[in-house]
C-alpha cells in the first residue's frame, strides 16, 4: 500500500494557485482511475483505489500548507506506513514550468509544506517535484505561489497533469523510469521533422547520338566510288 499526498491549501480561493498543483495532480489521478469519492479523514480528505497492482490512498491535507505534516503523519500511523510508502506531489520553484523530477530524501529548500513533513514524518519520503518556475527574486516568491496560474500556463499545465495521469500506475508500481517516460510523452512530444524531400538523380541512361566520322573525300572521288 502507498500514500499519494497532494500538497496545497483548502478552499475555492486557493484552487488555481501555483502552490496547489499538488492538489491538482492527485485530483486528476482520482478522476482518471476510478478512485472512491473524497471523504474527510486525517485533517484532510482521502480517496482510495487500485494502481499498479496495489492499493493507493490519495490524501489532500486541509491543515493549510505549513501544517501538512500533521495530516500526513496521522495517515501514516493509521495505515502503519513508513516514509518509503509516501509519495508527495509538490510545486517546485527551482524547475522550469512543466518539468517534473523525482527525488527521495533531501532537504525542504524552504518549502513550507515540506518543512512540516520533515518535522512530523522525517525526510525520507519520495517527492514528485512539479516545476512552476521562479519569479526571479525571493521577495516575490510568496505572492507568486499564492496566485492563480496565468492563461499562458494552461497548455503546459494540462500536459503535465495528463502525464501524471498516464504514469500514475507506473509510479505506484515503483517504476520511476516508466513514469517519467509517460510524463515526457506528454510534456516533450516528438517534433515533426520538416525536411524537404531530396530529389533523386535521374537514373535513366542518356543515349548519346552516334558519332559519324566526317567524309574527307573530294566530290569527284565520291562520284567515282559511287559508280564502281
User: 209: how many CB neighbours lie within 10 A of its CB?
Assistant: 5
Phi/psi of residue 22, each to 5°? -65, -45
Give the active site residue among 19, 33, 118, 147.
19
Is there a contact between 134 and 126 (Cβ–Cβ < 8 Å)?
Answer: no
Is there a contact between 129 and 95 (Cβ–Cβ < 8 Å)?
Answer: yes
Cα(113)–Cα(81) distance, integer angstroms: 19
Integer angstrom CA distances of residue 40 from 44, 61, 82, 152, 181: 6, 10, 22, 34, 34
Active site residue 147: no
Is there a contact between 72 and 118 (Cβ–Cβ < 8 Å)?
Answer: no
Write out the catalytic residue numbers: 19
Amino acid at each position: 500500500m502507498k500514500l499519494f499526498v497532494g500538497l496545497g491549501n483548502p478552499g475555492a480561493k486557493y484552487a488555481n494557485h501555483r502552490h496547489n498543483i499538488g492538489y491538482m495532480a492527485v485530483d486528476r489521478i482520482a478522476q482518471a482511475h476510478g478512485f472512491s469519492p473524497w471523504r474527510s479523514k486525517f485533517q484532510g480528505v482521502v480517496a482510495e483505489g487500485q494502481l499498479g497492482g496495489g492499493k493507493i490512498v490519495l490524501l489532500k491535507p486541509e491543515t493549510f500548507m505549513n501544517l501538512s505534516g500533521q495530516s500526513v503523519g496521522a495517515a501514516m500511523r493509521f495505515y502503519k506506513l513508513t516514509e518509503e510508502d509516501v509519495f508527495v506531489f509538490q510545486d517546485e520553484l527551482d524547475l522550469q514550468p512543466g518539468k517534473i523530477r523525482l527525488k527521495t530524501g533531501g532537504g525542504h529548500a524552504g518549502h513550507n509544506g515540506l518543512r512540516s513533513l520533515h518535522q512530523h514524518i522525517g525526510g525520507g519520503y519520495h517527492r514528485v517535484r512539479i516545476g512552476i518556475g521562479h519569479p526571479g527574486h525571493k521577495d516575490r516568491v510568496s505572492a507568486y505561489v499564492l496566485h492563480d496560474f496565468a492563461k499562458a500556463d494552461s497548455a503546459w499545465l494540462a500536459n503535465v497533469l495528463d502525464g501524471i495521469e498516464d504514469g500514475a500506475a507506473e509510479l505506484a508500481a515503483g517504476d520511476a523510469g516508466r513514469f517519467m517516460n509517460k510524463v515526457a510523452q506528454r510534456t516533450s512530444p516528438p517534433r515533426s521533422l520538416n525536411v524537404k524531400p531530396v530529389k533523386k538523380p535521374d537514373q535513366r541512361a542518356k543515349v548519346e547520338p552516334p558519332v559519324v566520322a566526317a567524309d574527307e573525300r573530294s566530290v569527284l572521288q565520291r562520284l567515282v566510288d559511287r559508280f564502281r
